[in-house]
Amino acid sequence: MVWKVGEGDGYALLAALLAAHVGESLPAMERKEGGKPWFPSRPDLHFSVSHSGALALCALSDREVGADVELIRPRRERLPAYALNGEELDWYRARGGGWEWFYTLWTLKEARVKCTGQCLRRPPREISVPLLEPGETGDWDGFRFTALAGEVWRGALCEKLT
Domains parsed from the chain with CATH numbers: 2-160 (3.90.470.20)
Q: Tell me: the pLDDT tens digits for 15-43?
A: 999 999 999 999 999 999 888 999 999 99
Question: Contact, 105 vs 96, CB < 8 A?
Answer: no
Closest CA to 57 of 105, 136, 114: 114
pLDDT at 121: 76
Q: Tell me: the pLDDT tens digits for 101-126?
A: 999 999 999 999 999 998 777 899 99
> Amino acid identity of 24?
E
pLDDT of 75 over the 80 cut:
yes
Closest CA to 106 of 69, 61, 57, 158: 69
